[in-house]
Structure 1
Amino acid sequence: MYYRAAPLARFGVDFRTSVGPSRVIPRALFHLRANVDNSTWEKLGDVVGRVYNLPPLYGIEKRPHLVSKCGKYPALVDLSFSNVYWQVFHSSDGTFYLYSAFFDNRTLTRPGPSVRILGMADRIKPAVRTHCQLWYEGQGTPVVAKVVEYRYLWIRAWGNYRNGTLQPYLLQCVIPESHRQRVPQSVSLVEGRCDRSTNNLRVVHNPPPEGQKSNFAVCVKGMDVDEDISLRMVEWFELLFLLGADKVFVYDLGIHPNISKILKHYESKGKVDVRSLTLPGEQPTARGLVRRYLKARDCSQAAE
């Protein structure tokens, strides 16, 4: 069978024989060079910025190499992700899905300044001993602190109370005395003090400007609304602001396009903070399926 090779000229292939055996065509294809428009590529820092629990250090193309005597700062390829926004830690007794980390130096925090990690685990009462590797700017070796608390963030009467089903927790690592005046850049959850980690969460610390706190904020649980309730959302936002709310934090699990437009409007005014959200583990992430899944799960919990 014979093919005309002339169309290959538009790919920049110099193929002088217009007709020839079919075996010649694949040989010519080895010389193809795609014209890639690199101008449309996003900068690494912009990509990392969208996955908001990643440390900004991953957005630097050439990071400084720092020697570590305990553990190793995880490279981006070392991290284990679940559904984009969750980082995974497999322990000897259960799996943890980590969402975010915060620096807590409030006066009443006991026993002292801490890093708190928000996540989920497939255990009712995690008994595994874990540690936080606290990564500070300019240090290759992490500061290690024990996890002193797994605070359960659910009420047993609501159902879903069994091993094997993901449970929400707030973990606390107390920062050692030597570093209590410094905020770590990121934190990794490990079992052994010097284990190599598969997670690395940016530690959030947003102190109020000039030490003045705002009145109050409103936090909305993950929204999975597929109907258009945009007008009701406007009414609700305006009422909150009249009552003195300074900001509303919204987590988007999949919402109607008109609601997205409303959120973008208030976000541009600095009144709303919108974060994309997914369900961790083996739970669905497809829009439209999440709502049906959560509704079915709520019904099964009510029947328990």
Structure 2
Amino acid sequence: MRIFAHCLCLVLLLSAGWMVSPLGAEETTAAAASTPTGKILFVDTSEAGKTFLATINPDGTGKTRLTPSYFNIVFPKSCETSGWMGFTNKTPDMKSEVYLLSRDAKKIKKILEGAALEGFSPNGKFLIYTTCDMKAELFVYSIESKTATQISQNLRVTAADWSPDSEWIAVSVLVEDGTNDLYMISTMAQGIIRLTQTPGVDESFPVFTKDGKYLAFISNRNGENEIEYLDLHEKKFQRPLIMGMYPSVSPDKNWVAFEKDGQIGISQGDGLNTKVLTAGRTPWWIR
């Protein structure tokens, strides 16, 4: 993998059209009959003043805490290949710490300070983090060598996710008008692609589907936070009418986990069959 620091910005603005069938017609048809599988990694907020990293089954059963309590856990992530799990903890003095957990959650170690974890590379050898300062730059960090490489330049990155083929990192960026737009940064020296340019509209926290064909993200385009999809091939938006934030798409692409009003919920990809699972925030769907 060739990581680069100085990128050529290619503007790719999207069609205003909207596709009807979320995440593809074939997947939507299958979703109607599917039962969600895997587990959901999330921040358990059920005890006042405490946060725990936990998992829960998508039917709401089997909640299991993986860590002792921390002051303020945010945005847990995991890597299926390596088994690594990770999260950012905000301390009482508002500092940020990044922790890694082993697959069985028996080993926990702090690896970074002054940073926020954004995700893992598909092969599990790297993670991505943003700096917790005014610059908010994005870095790739080698877990083995403990070295970091900056891959953004003058982009105030608010969230990021690594594509399944490892070639792109989708990011949301704070722009001049105080809102977020979506970009993709190549890890193969192919430049930066701007996906959206929507003054006055926030589009943030993009995540890839497991096949890399779509992004799910938060949008307030219609006045409140909801989940939208972007077909990366057709360059079309999809609006499934899922009210909430911080989406994570199930491995089979038929379900979406999200946070709304301090609770973890799931919904079919088309916005139907919504269920509330438990008190918590920032879910991450795992196998």
Do the two structures share a fold, i.e. TM-score over 0.5? no
Please tell me whether Structure 1 or Structure 2 has the larger radius of gyration of its CA atoms: 1
TM-score, normalised with respect to structure 2: 0.29
Question: Quick one: higher RCO (CA 8 Å, sep 6+), 1 or 2?
Answer: 2
| Greater helix proportion | 1
TM-score, normalised with respect to structure 1: 0.28
